[in-house]
Every structure is written in structure tokens, then in C-alpha cells.
Amino acid sequence: MGKVTRRQFIKGVVVGGVTMAGAMSVPGSLRKAYAQKPKLTVAIWNHWVPGATDVHTKIISDWAKENKVDVRIDLIGPSGAAIRTIASAEYRGETGHDIMALSTFVSIAFKKKLEPLNDVADYLEKKYGKFDDLATYSNYQDGVWFSIPNPMGSFSKPPVSRIDLFKKHAGIDVVDIFPPDDSKRDTKKVDAFTWDAFLEASKKLYKAGFPVGSAISECNDANEWLCPLFLSYGSTAMGKDGRVTIESNETLQALEYIKELAQYMPKEIFGWDDASNNRYIIAGKGSCVFNPPTAWVVAKRDNPDVAAQLWHHDMPRGPKGRYRGAAYYSIGIWNWCKEKKAAKDLITYLMEKPQQWKIFSAAQGNDVPQLKPMYAHPVWQEEGPPKGTLYNYITRGDEKLIVGGYPARPEIGTQIYSKYLIPVMTGKVVTGEATPKAAMKWCAKELEMLRS
């Protein structure tokens, strides 16, 4: 098993792989004995959590041994950009792996050469219930599942708040509002956690010397807290029908809100990258960021006193609802794969509960499931300190998970996301470069160009 570079694939060379062989009749309606010994090459995401990739590869190798399938595994990442680069090279060359890990929007970009997986999706949904809306948005279109939602690498970006600082300086007990047991939630307390309440808390935390902080810059983290905020005000960049909708009173309200909120954030946020907010909260300087548990995991190692005070919880509610940013990884089969049945069998096996249970444990709760029965895994209740900090990392209330660019069709959504149109528009207003109306007009022109 080995890491793979773009150069190696363009040359048609794969290095450092491991071939694993061995047959078992696995439960499941899709699986039957193979007429002859198939061979598969599999590219999987190289998880950043130590040991998680080892568990994933062992699951695959055990399946290969039991089913007498030769499987070669290669690791890509952990950068999502690395997955796109390799997938792009394989797409153009129509050669490479049979099964491919795909990062956010990548399956959309390459769907024309991905094998339809409706039979796999139908099997899983009949057994475990429907995939959630974001999984459908990212992997299903025009009646075709061109990839399968894969929790390995999927994440959401809730607020990660300091329990002690919010309680001491803002008078807010985030654990009481969002306890590690959704049956104990008080609806009135949850409903009162609005963007307006968050603004008032931010003022107090800023005055105390511990500002809330998240990027307003050209980075993914900026997309993944700003786009949900805009949606919570009813603001969308483009509708499903392709109509540009950014110039609206709802967008204006959201911009005015963020302009005020940013006054109580660090001035450096306009130059932050995806790692900046992690460093900020880990160092003990901030009271809240919007992030997966990556910051908390590193804080456990580098600053355990801070880690013990971090609590992941629901986003604030806006006038039009509560939204949380997320990014879903997926897995697909290239249509040049010669062993499609074996490839589908392997993907189905990986997505079933026993295997998912092992993967969630190995990832220490960082991976997000897209099927409701998987929410019951105990890892999100047990991880700590503080115990239960990850419970609400899985959405437990009325939040809707979205990816930047939603609800535009994914082909356009990926461009809204990758061009950072919402963060750039916001930055123009917050820094005083443009008035809100001028910034909206600029964004509308950019969106019109995406349609042409």
C-alpha cells in the first residue's frame, strides 16, 4: 500500500501497492460466488487520524481474503485536492483504479465516466433507510446514483465553543443547551440560540479578550460557516432552476449582520487559511470557531486544558432556519472497471453497519454517517474529554446539513464553492471595499458567468 502521485498515474504507473488475496459467502442480496478470481485496484482516502486508515485497509483485505479477490489498495490524501488531481488524471486517461475515493463535488465533475450504482444504493436504503439530503445532493442526479456516500472523510463544521469562557463571560451554558443526549434538550433553550444571541455573546467575549473567530477569506472554512449563515437568513446564490437569486433583501440582512459580527472577531480573519482557526482555538486565544473535531483532537495532545473545555454543538438559528456546513466524501466505480460485480460487492460490504462501526471507532468520531441507524454508534457519546463533546457533532436537532453552493445544481454549486463567491462578497462588505448592494451586484455578475 502506498501514497500515489499525479505523475505516477499520468505515466500509467502505480507504486507501493499491496496485493491481497484469499472466499466467503457474505450476507447480502448483491453477493454471489464469483465465476473466476477477480482483480480490483482500490484508491482510498488516507485518513489524518492515526490508525484509521489501517482499520479501513484491514477491512478491505479481510473481505478480499474471504472472497478470493485480488485487491490492490493505494492511499491518496489526506488532502481532498490530491483526490481531485488523481481522479482528473484517471478520468482523462480512462485508466487507473477500479474503485475511487471521491472528495466533495468530485463525483459530480466526473459522473459521466462513473458506473451507475443504483443497485447498491437501493440495497443500502432498503436495509438502513434513506440517505440524508446532502448525500443525495452530492451523489444522485436525474435518477442515477453515480457514487455512494462514504463516511470515511466526511465531516460537518459546527461551532466548537469554550464551555468555561461562554459561561463566565457570556452567561451561556452550551452543555446545558446542547447536552450529550438529545432526549434531554429543552426546545425553548435551543430555539433561543440564534444568530442575534450569538452576536451578543460575541461582544462580551471580545470585551473579555477571547473573540469568536472564523475566516472571511478565500478558503474552505469560510465557505462552510458563511454559506449556512446566509441560508439561515433565506439568502441563496442561485436556485435549483439556475436563476441567480443573490440580490435580495435576505442577502442584504445577512451581510449587515456579518458586518457587525466581524467587528468582534480578530482582524486577522481576512487572511486566514483552513488551519488558522484551528491554531487560534488550540492556543487558547479564542472562544469559538466553526470546525470538525480536528482542532479538539490536536488540542488533546498540545493543549489538553483547552481540549477539556471544547464543546461541539448546533449552529445558531437564523430567521429562516438552522443550517450547518458539511462536506461529504463518496466512493465510485469507473466505468472501465472490468470486475463491476466484485467492485459493487466490496462497496456494499464497506457501507454495512459492522464495517462502519469499526471505521467510526478508528476515526475517533471524526467521520459523519449519512444513514440514520449509524448515528447510534457510541463513539460520539463516549469520546472526551469532556465526555460527550462530540455527541452533537452528529446533527441531533433541526439543523440541515449543506455544502457551499447549495441549492444550485451541483455542477454550478462546485464553482460557487471553489471560487469562494460568498466569502469574497462578504469580505468586500466587511472591509469597506464595497457597499452591500454593490457587493451583491458583483456576485450576481460572477454567478451569471457561471451559467454561460
pLDDT tens across 288-328, in order? 999 999 999 999 999 999 999 999 999 999 999 999 999 88
pLDDT for position 25: 37
Separation between Cα atoms, residue 205 and residue 257, nearest integer Å: 17
pTM of the model: 0.89
The domain covering 6-154+327-376 belongs, at the CATH homologous superfamily level, to: Periplasmic binding protein-like II (3.40.190.10)
pLDDT for position 110: 93
Domain ranges of the chain: 6-154+327-376, 156-326+383-451
| DSSP string over 265-287 | S-GGGGG--TTHHHHHHHTT--S
192 C-beta neighbours (distance < 10 Å), count: 14
Residue spans of alpha helices (H) in 140-248: 163-165, 174-177, 187-191, 195-208, 220-232
pLDDT for position 81: 84
Give the CA radius of gyration of the chain: 22
Separation between Cα atoms, residue 257 and residue 232, nearest integer Å: 12
Taking 70 as the threshold, does the pLDDT of residue 30 lie above it?
Answer: no
- Choose the CATH number for 156-326+383-451 among 3.40.190.10, 3.40.630.30, 3.50.50.60, 1.10.3720.10: 3.40.190.10
Same fold across 6-154+327-376 and 156-326+383-451 = yes
> For residue range 338-354, what is the model confidence (pLDDT) as tens digits?
999 999 999 999 999 99
Cell matching residue 337: 472497471
CA-based nearest residue to 251, from 416, 36, 429:
429
**Which DSSP symbol is given to 131?**
P
> For residue range 115-172, what is the model confidence (pLDDT) as tens digits?
999 999 999 999 999 999 999 998 999 999 999 999 999 999 999 999 999 999 999 9
Q: How much of the chain exceeds pLDDT 90, in percent?
A: 87
CA distances from 11 to 76, 95, 113, 337, 364 (A): 17, 10, 20, 19, 37
